[in-house]
Each structure stands twice: as C-alpha cells, then as structure tokens.
Amino acid sequence: MNRMQQSIENAQAIATSDALAVEHTLAGERDAFRVLVERHSQNVFRLAYRMTGNQQDAEEIVQEAFLRAYQKLGQFEARANFGTWVYRIAANYAIDRMRQKQKEDARREPPRAGSADGVEDDPMNRVADDAPTPERLTQSLELRKQMEQALAALSHAERTAFVMRHWEGCGIEEIAAVLKSNSGAAKNTVFRAVQKLRLALQPIVGTRTQAQAMGTES
Amino acid sequence: MNHMTEEQLIAYREGIAEQRAAISDHLAACEECRAELERIEAVLAALDTLPMPDPGADYGRRVWQQIAPRLPEKRGRWWQMWLAPRRLAAAGAVVALIIAAFVAGRMSRRDHGVDNSASREQVRERVLIVAVGEHLGHSERMLVELSNAGPSDPAQKQVNISAEQRRAEDLLEENRMYRQTALQEGDAGLASVLDDLERVLLDVAHSPSEVTPKQLEAIRRKIEARGILFKVRVVGKELQQRQEASQPAPAQNDSKKKERNKV
C-alpha cells in the first residue's frame, strides 16, 4: 500500500469513526476533534433546544459541551460512544444552566401574586392576548404557548427525562446517568413528566381533537 | 377486569414498560384502556408539533469555528502522533525548517558576533516566511491547475484529478504544520487563510480520483466561493514583499502582521 492510499484511508477512517477521531485528538491532532464537532453538533443542539426552549441558550450549551468534552477527553473510555458521552455532558450542563438561570431570575424579580404555576406571568401570554390574529392562528399560538408553559413548569429533572426519552429516544440507563439516579427513579421521572404535561394540556388538546373530529374547527 | 394504571400506559407509550406483552394483550381486549391510551397519545402528539429551529446544514462548522480558538493544544502522546504515516513527511519538512533556522541563526551570529534573542526571532520568522511563501505558491498552482482541468475529449465522462489529489494530500500536512506555527506565533490572519486553504485541500484530497465534469464544477465552485485563490495570492505576495525587504525592523514586522490579521 503506498503512502497516498494509506493517508487517504487514514483520513477517511477518521471521518467515519468517532473512536479514531478521539484517538487522534488525544494524540495531539486538534483538527481530528473538528470531525466530532461537525458530526454531533446538530444532535446536541436539538437536545439543548428541547431542554431550554431557547435557541441562544441551546447554542451556548452546544459550544460549552464540546469545550468540556475536549478538556475531559482523557477520561473518555475508548469503548464508549462519543455521541452519547457528549450528549450527557450537554444534558448535565443544560441542567446546571437552567438552575442557575432560575436562581438569577428569582433574584431579579420577586414572584407576583397568583403566579405560582407561572402561567399568568408569561410575557408571551400578554402579547398574544392583545394581538388581533385570525382565530385559527390564535388557537394555534395559544396551544403552542400552553405547551411551552407546561414544559417550562416541569422540574429540570422531569424535563430532561422527558426530552431524552420522548424526543431523543435515549435509554433509561442513559437518562439515569444524567440524572445521577437509578433506572427505577429515571422511569418514574419520565412518568411524572408525562402525567404533569397531560394534566396541563389534556383539556385544551382534548377540545381541539374533539373539534377537529366534528369538523367545527376553523 | 383490572384496568391498566396511568403509569403503566405511559410507560407502554414511551417504550419503557416492563410487561409490554401483557399490556398489549389487555389493550387488545379493553376499549376503556385503549381510549385512555389515545388521550395520552393526543397530548404527546400535540407536543410533537412544537417547532424546532433549524440551525442550518453548516452548523457543525460554525460551532467548530467558534470553539477552535478556545481549545488548548493537547500535548498528546507524542510517539503516537509522529508515528502516523502521513505525519512522517510533514515531520521531515519541520525538521528541515528547524535545521534551516539553526543554520541561519549560526550564520547571523557569526556575522554580528552578538547572540541576542531578537535576531534569532527575526531569523526564525524569515525562515517561516520563505517556507510558507513557497507552500502558498505550490498550493496556488495546484488550485489553478485544478480549476483549469477538464476532459480532453468533450465526450469523455470522467476527469482524472488524481495528480492534483496527490499534491493536495501532500500540501495538507504541511499546511497543518504552518497553520499551527502561525497560531503559536500569534499571526491570526495567516492562520485564518491557512485554515481556509486547509478546507479546500481536504475537499480535493477526499474527492474521488476520477470525477464527472459536474463534480469537478462543484469543486471549482467551492474554491471560488471561498475566494481562496485570491486570499492565497494576497498573502503570498505580502510574504514575498517581506522576504524581499530582508532585514526588516521588528516594528515593521509587527505592523505587517497586524495588517494581515484584518484579511
């Protein structure tokens, strides 16, 4: 095998194998890490956005997750899956960040009366109420707002567990690792999340579904 | 008949139920539980309609550009790094560079009889300027040839670019070394141009050795879109001027470096 073939195969192997890219990064080849960043950024973004509901926060989480992964790469086990690992780093960082943000928000603005469930105080609520939109758009915006609020009302652990299981299809063991709990507790957290979402959304979703079935929705 | 609990139905819907088969059997026979499951599904289906912003196809690349300057160099396992076959040739180039800098440093010391670190620094930079200038010249020629490549016969369906590919492969390793050196020297402008060049070299090196005219056109468009030939020419010319202005004053050097950082 000549040098060129070997080089091409080597580059191709890095491009297709996470494990090899990790190995080359650990060997001091910083650019090998680029392959990992470019390959997994979209997935990590999706997770971060679902967890925070905010694009800017999600983008910052993605960057921080890869920076942390690079710094901790020496601790990464060769047999593990890099995608899952960086995912876990991102989820943990997202939880820390949401907690921190919640504390900061609480310091800045004392809770108003009647805002225990956080529904009435959402600025989106006020904007949408005043907006003269067609009925259907209003309904759709209203449902979206309700869903975002229901998700925001979950605890950090519940939202993480729900996002990881329902949208990202992560295994219970993986969720348990992020939540630093056991698989039974992780399952229970998924259950609690769905139960809370159902409680908050079923009245509005049920009405819409019924209206759609009867053909009365505009 | 004992109905399923909400917890069992949610676990079933989310694929984490332990007795999945038993729940399936029950659902097949129990209309009430099926209706309850449908209500759970309706809520989850509504949640699935929440929009997800698309960060764009080049998102990964943008993330890399944002984090790359913040990544510390890893010392790595040096033996592993240099034993990689494609590193050996580049290592040879670097060794040649170090020897050239050493020899030039000795000569400069003999001429002036004074060993000061500033002159060693200048010599080192001059050697780097010459080496990078040559590298950019070689890269430019390869890219121009690739841009002008085409089937010798219009009926020909494939264009052989294996020669350009081989050269891109060789240039790629040198480029990485020079880019890292430029970063270490704080020459962000040169490092940025070398980074752009590296992407193009990577594209060429990873292309099939025989491409269709359409694929070749796509490669050309990529080269044009990045404006890499222009950048390479500008920086190459500047390096040439610096080389010609031989004994440059340190202040002059710095201002040139700052100027290029704006490219």
pLDDT digits (tens, 9 = 90+) for B4-20: 999 999 999 999 998 89
Pick the closest to residue A122 from A96, A93, A147, A97 (CA basis). Answer: A147
Pick the closest to residue B66 from A17, A99, A41, A196 (CA basis). Answer: A41
Smallest CA–CA distance, residue A66 to chain B, in Å, is: 8
Q: B43, A15: Cβ pair inside 8 Å?
A: no
Least confident interval from A154-158, B33-37, B79-83, B133-137: B79-83
Alpha helices of B113-227 — where are they, by DSSP H? 117-148, 162-184, 188-205, 213-226
Mean pLDDT of A4-16: 56
Q: B14, A166: Cβ pair inside 8 Å?
A: yes
pLDDT at A114: 46
Closest alpha carbon within chain A to B51 = A144
Smallest CA–CA distance, residue B60 to chain A, in Å, is: 4
All residues of chain B having their beta carbon less than 8 Å from the beta carbon of residue A27 are 76-77, 80-81, 84
For residue A105, pLDDT over 50 is answered with: yes
Q: B67, A67: Cβ pair inside 8 Å?
A: yes
Q: A27, B81: Cβ pair inside 8 Å?
A: yes
Mean pLDDT of B87-113: 54
Helix (H, G, I), strand (E, B) or coil at B187: coil
For residue B101, pLDDT over 60 is answered with: no
Which residues are CB-contacts of B26 (< 8 A; sequence separation ≥ 6)? B4, B33
Q: How far apart are CA A177 and CA A170, in angstroms?
A: 11
Q: How far apart are CA A82 and CA B246, in angstroms?
A: 50
Pick the closest to residue B159 from B207, B201, B197 (CA basis). Answer: B207
Most confident among A43-57, A101-115, A198-212, B229-243 (mean pLDDT): A43-57
For residue A190, pLDDT over 90 is answered with: yes
In chain A the first and final C-alpha atoms are separated, in Å, by 69
Q: How far apart are CA B44 and CA B217, in angstroms?
A: 47
pLDDT at A118: 42
CA separation, residue A218 to residues A139, A140, A205, A214, B18 (Å): 10, 11, 15, 11, 42
Best of B4, B58, B64 to disrupt the A interface (most A CBs within 10 Å) is B64
All residues of chain A having their beta carbon less than 8 Å from the beta carbon of residue B52 are 46, 49-50
For residue B83, pLDDT over 50 is answered with: no
Q: A166, B84: Cβ pair inside 8 Å?
A: no
Helix (H, G, I), strand (E, B) or coil at B211: strand
Q: Calculate helix-pair angle for B213-226, B117-148, nearest 10 degrees.
A: 140
Mean pLDDT of A170-189: 94
The answer to whether the CB of A166 falls within 8 A of the CB of A147 is no
In which residue are the tokens 């299809």 written?
A: A169
All residues of chain B having their beta carbon less than 8 Å from the beta carbon of residue A197 are 43-44, 47
- Adjacent-strand bridge partners of B159: B211
Smallest CA–CA distance, residue B244 to chain A, in Å, is: 33
Q: What are the helix and strand counts (H, E) for chain A?
A: 10, 0
Check residue A163 and report its DSSP letter. I
Most confident among A179-193, B78-92, B106-120, B238-252 (mean pLDDT): A179-193
pLDDT at B112: 52
Q: A194, B14: Cβ pair inside 8 Å?
A: yes
pLDDT at B155: 67
Least confident interval from B101-105, B119-123, B155-159, B233-237: B101-105
Q: How far apart are CA A9 and CA B139, in angstroms?
A: 22
pLDDT at B9: 95
Q: A70, B77: Cβ pair inside 8 Å?
A: no
Least confident interval from A49-53, A95-99, A202-206: A202-206
Instruction: Output the average pLDDT for chain A.
Output: 80
Q: B43, A205: Cβ pair inside 8 Å?
A: yes
The percentage of chain A sitting over the pLDDT mark of 90, rounded to a whole number, equals 52
Nearest to A195 among B6, B50, B78 (CB): B6
CA separation, residue A62 to residues A38, A43, A51, A156, B257 (Å): 11, 9, 12, 18, 33
Pick the closest to residue B46 from A193, A29, A205, A135 (CA basis). Answer: A205
Closest alpha carbon within chain A to B10 = A191
CA separation, residue B222 to residues A32, A176, B72, B147, B164 (Å): 22, 45, 30, 11, 16
Q: How confident is the model at residue B120 (pLDDT cuts 50, 70, 90)?
A: low
For residue A57, pLDDT over 70 is answered with: yes
Smallest CA–CA distance, residue B3 to chain A, in Å, is: 17
Amino acid found at B164: E
For residue B158, pLDDT over 70 is answered with: yes
Instruction: Output the average pLDDT for chain B.
Output: 75
Pick the closest to residue B41 from A150, A194, A188 (CA basis). Answer: A194
Q: A66, B10: Cβ pair inside 8 Å?
A: no
In chain B the first and final C-alpha atoms are separated, in Å, by 77
Between B128 and B249, the more confident residue is B128
Nearest to A62 among B7, B63, B81 (CB): B63
pLDDT at B235: 81
Q: How confident is the model at residue A134 (pLDDT cuts 50, 70, 90)?
A: low
All residues of chain A having their beta carbon less than 8 Å from the beta carbon of residue B75 are 28
Closest alpha carbon within chain B to A49 = B52
Q: How far apart are CA B182 and CA B186, in angstroms?
A: 6
Least confident interval from A74-88, A173-187, B22-36: A74-88
All residues of chain A having their beta carbon less than 8 Å from the beta carbon of residue B42 are 202, 205-206, 209
Q: How far apart are CA A203 and CA A179, in angstroms?
A: 30
Give the ipTM: 0.77
For residue B252, pLDDT over 70 is answered with: no
Radius of gyration of chain A from its Cα atoms, rounded to whole angstroms:
22
pLDDT at A127: 39
pTM value is 0.55
Closest alpha carbon within chain A to B78 = A27
